[in-house]
């Protein structure tokens, strides 16, 4: 005996809308998103740089300049994300990311909001 499930059309439309709202849609051929942040967890201060290709095409020759040294990423495919940790000797003011073709992004490090512990 087969079971047949009936789902109201409104539920399907809502599910589709939620899915599409949470799915990134590339609007440019070449684009990067850069998130530079610092996290102080009371034990140590950690810095991270997350670089995501949000374009439709590969981005090449990605150079991450911390001021005192650089990281190089040969290629980022669409949707690909790289998480970097700058060295202790890196400048902690800002990071400059350049890539081909014609991408240049300057980001200051932002602080992550602390979670409040509830006892």
Distance (Å, whole) CA 87 – CA 95: 12
Each residue's pLDDT expressed in tens, for the chain with a length of 119 residues: 556 666 676 665 676 666 655 555 667 899 999 999 988 776 777 889 999 999 999 999 999 999 888 999 999 999 999 999 888 878 778 999 999 999 999 999 988 776 666 66
Distance (Å, whole) CA 5 – CA 91: 58
DSSP line for 40-94 = E-SS-EEEEEEEEE-SSS-EEEEEEE-SS-EEEEEEE-TT-EEEE---TTS-SSE
Question: CATH number of the domain at 29-111, please?
Answer: 2.60.40
**What's the whole-model pTM score?**
0.71
Specify the pLDDT at position 20. 57
Helix (H) or strand (E) holding 23: none
Q: Where are the domains of the chain?
A: 29-111
Distance (Å, whole) CA 31 – CA 3: 47
Specify the pLDDT at position 4. 63
């Amino acid at each position: 005996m087969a079971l047949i499930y009936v789902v109201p059309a409104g539920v399907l439309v809502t599910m589709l809308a939620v899915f599409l709202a949470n799915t990134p849609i590339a609007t440019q051929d070449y684009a990067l998103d850069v998130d530079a942040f610092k996290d102080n967890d009371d034990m140590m201060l950690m810095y991270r740089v997350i670089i995501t290709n949000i374009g439709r095409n590969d981005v090449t020759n990605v150079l991450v300049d911390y001021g005192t040294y650089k990281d190089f990423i040969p290629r980022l495919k669409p949707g690909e994300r790289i998480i970097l940790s700058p060295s202790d000797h890196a400048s902690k003011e800002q990071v400059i990311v350049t890539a081909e073709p014609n991408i240049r992004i300057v980001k200051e490090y932002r602080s992550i909001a602390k979670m409040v512990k509830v006892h």
